[in-house]
Structure 1
Amino acid sequence: MAEAMKTEEKEMPKAVMPGSVLTIEVDSSIESSQEKEEARWHQLLNAQRTRKILTGPLSGIEKLESGWTVAVTYFNGYRIIIPMSEMMINLKGDGRENADTLNRQVRIANNMLGADIDFIIKDLDEASRSVVASRKDAMLRKRQIFYFTDNEEEQPMIYPGRIVEARVIAVAPKAVRLEVFGVECSVRARDMAWEWMPDATEKFQVGDLVLVCVNKVEAPDVENVTVMADAKGATENTNKDNLKKCHRQGKYSGIITDVYKGTYFIRLDLGVNAIAHECNMTNLPGKWDRIGFVVTRINETSEVAEGIITRMIKRHE
């Protein structure tokens, strides 16, 4: 009898033994907060050893007491700092070529807050549980994988004409910054959608994933990879079908998306892009104003309606 009780005690799950936490599933156990923390830290150690690419949201930009300006992200509950020199931010075409490099990097990084970024852990301190990482190393690794091949006869995974998924990492009124598998590129707002937009932030937000068509790739080496892409090539052109909704002498409402040298660019509410060279108003309208528009010509070649702005419906405040 005593031997039977001992056998039953051995087979009894640890979770139902006296003094332990009784779980819903009696054959499971509960980890302490310290055990969970050790498991998370061990995962970071493994990631450093294997140089695994990790991903986290860009959560902040800070200047440390040491004078370093760093980007901050979090992974598994741990704070990860990335020196600005390791962020590999593409400064080409930012319009501030004469400004200090660090200030240019910080300015763009501020616009990237909230975006997912890849990084590889470079150093960990066991005592303080601090982690230093590099976005540059992760981007170079991804470039090697997606833009190059070991066999010259093989085509890399990313090539002109291929439709790929890209991350939206920053948005300005007239441009969207994308990260395409380790390469940053800036795309004009008018190349991100078939419909004209007064402000790209109305349609795109940091953190979005968008399909883009790769138009051009220049990759002399892994440090110097340039990509040109647009989202229009990855989506169906609805302009021609929408244009059929318009009729000559038809009167429609719309929003002015831009004004350039006396020409008004308009997005009609029925989904048609329109151009006006004339405006029958004393007080000229501006960008974002809602106006009335009369169609005088359907330009099927340019896929736009041409006409005259006849009245102000609502001025933008």
Structure 2
Amino acid sequence: MAEARKEATTLALEKEVPRAALDGVLTIEVDSRVESLEEQEDARWHQLLNAHRTRKILTGELGGVEKLESGWVVAITYYNGFRIIIPMSEMMINLNGDGRENSDTLNRQTRIANNMLGCEIDFMIKDLDTETKSVVASRKDAMLKKRQTFYYAEEGEKPMLYPGRMVQARVIAVAAKAVRLEVFGVEVSVRARDMAWEWMVDASEKFQIGDLVLVTVNEIRQKSVEDISISVDAKSATANTNKDNLKKCHKQGKYAGTITDVYKGTYFIRLDIGVNAVAHSCNMPSLPGKRDKIGFVATRINDNYEVAEGIITRLIKRAQ
């Protein structure tokens, strides 16, 4: 009798409780379902298959540069948890102005790619293997597609990107005196002095890999989709604070500042009050150097060049 009552109770319970609560993972919410790790991976892999079929541009973070056993040098990124390899020949790195024109092309590309680690890059899947879940992609294909979209237009129409337009750009690498940007499929290296109104010892003081910055497109030179070069600057996209800051500086005033550069006996200084300054002479027994903290006396306010001119009077602190 007891067994009969137990069996009846079990049958009644099964009728009241949804099957989702009796089979598989027991979920907190009634009738909800938890996907297994395998199902989640299959769904993510399916997204890559669709991206490959539709030639969709994907975005990932450049996570590494490796040399494979086959001898290939590749860039590594991850998307949806899957490892994506991009051959260095498919990275479409702009080598103009890198100062190593006589070096091996692959070494030049690898050196720049190393400096780009951590930046966001676009890519399109070229091939994938369902069995091994391996993916080969191309940054070049993605950049060419973006160029076609933003730098070209139908006959009689204006392209989305043209000289004089203010646009957003990705910071993909930073050096002491230059910042490398990616502007809708075109890489360009911009001098640090064209990136900000204030003088900097090192561009990394103000810009980091992964930043998004506003720039003004000054010029576009395009022979074909594969041969496009541009010039941009970030100064004209931001308000000029030099004129207002210069009002803080007065003739014969004494100020502290940091030497940002030295060129042919001329010292370029960023004063702590936010003013750019130039010194042609130094009243010190030993000459200061770049990054040194110094004392400065203003002898002239040059409104035309928006700088204070004067003399370095003393060393406050040597750079470490």
Q: TM-score range by the shorter chain?
A: over 0.9
Would the aligned equivalents of 1:14 and 1:29 in 2 still touch at CA under 8 Å? no
Identity %, equivalent residues: 74
Alpha-carbon distance in 2 for matches of 1:12, 1:111: 58
Residue type at the aligned position of 1:19: D
| Alignment map for 1:111-190 (pairs within 5 Å) | 111-151=115-155, 153-190=156-193
Find 1:266's aligned residue among 266, 269, 279. Answer: 269
Q: Which amino acid letter does the alignment assign opposite residue 217 of structure 2? A: V
When residues 262 and 131 of structure 1 are mapped into structure 2, their CA distance, relative to the original with a 3 A threshold, is same
* Alpha-carbon distance, 1:15 to partner: 3.0
1:197 corresponding residue in structure 2: 200
Aligned-residue offset at 1:28: 1.8
Q: What SS is found at the alignment partner of 1:285?
A: coil
Q: Secondary structure at the match of 1:232?
A: coil
1:15 to 17, 20, 25: 20
Q: For 1:187, give the aligned amino acid.
A: V
CA distance, structure 1, for counterparts of residue 122 and residue 227 of structure 2:
18
- The amino acid across from 1:130 in the alignment is S
1:239-250 alignment runs, 5 A limit: 239-250=242-253
Gaps of 5+ in 2: 1-9
Give the drift of 1:262.
0.5
Please, what TM-score do these two structures have when normalized by structure 1? 0.95
The 5-angstrom pairing of residues 269-288 of structure 1 reads 269-288=272-291
From 194, 212, 217, give the equivalent of 2:215.
Answer: 212
Closer, same or farther: CA 31–250 of 1 in aligned 2, 3 Å: same
Structure-2 change in CA distance of 1:7 and 1:52 (3 Å):
farther
Bigger-Rg structure (1/2): 2
CA apart distance, 1:23: 2.2
TM-score of the superposed pair, with normalisation by structure 2: 0.94
Question: Given the superposition, is the C-alpha separation of residues 131 and 277 from structure 1 closer, same or farther in structure 2, using an over 3 Å criterion?
Answer: same
The separation in 2 between residues aligned to 1:8 and 1:140, in whole angstroms, is 62
Question: 2:16, 2:300 → 1: CA distance?
Answer: 86
User: Which of 74, 78, 81 matches 2:85?
Assistant: 81
User: Which amino acid in the other structure matches residue 105 of structure 1?
Assistant: Q
The structural deviation recorded for 1:227 is 1.1
| Cα distance between partner residues in 2 of 1:257 and 1:204 | 16
Instruction: Give 5+ residue unaligned stretches, structure 1.
Output: none
1:28 aligns to 2:32 (yes or no): yes
Paired residue for 2:107? 103
Q: Is the 8 A contact 1:14 1:20 kept in 2?
A: no
- What's the CA shift string for 1:61-111, capped at 9, x where partnerless? 111111111111000000000000000000011111111110010010000
Q: Secondary structure in 2 aligned to 1:298?
A: strand
Q: 1:234 and 1:66, CA in 2 relative to 1: closer, same or farther beyond 3 A?
A: same
* Alpha-carbon distance in 2 for matches of 1:247, 1:33: 68
Alpha-carbon distance in 2 for matches of 1:7, 1:111? 67
Report the CA distance between 1:20 and its aligned residue: 3.2
Q: Does 1:221 align with 2:221?
A: no
User: CA, structure 1 residues 69+295, in 2 after alignment: closer, same or farther (shift >3 Å)?
Assistant: same
How far is the alpha carbon of 1:220 from its aligned partner?
A: 2.0
Assess if the C-alpha contact under 8 Å between 1:248 and 1:298 holds in 2.
Answer: yes
* Aligned residue pair count: 311
Amino acid across the alignment from 1:211: L
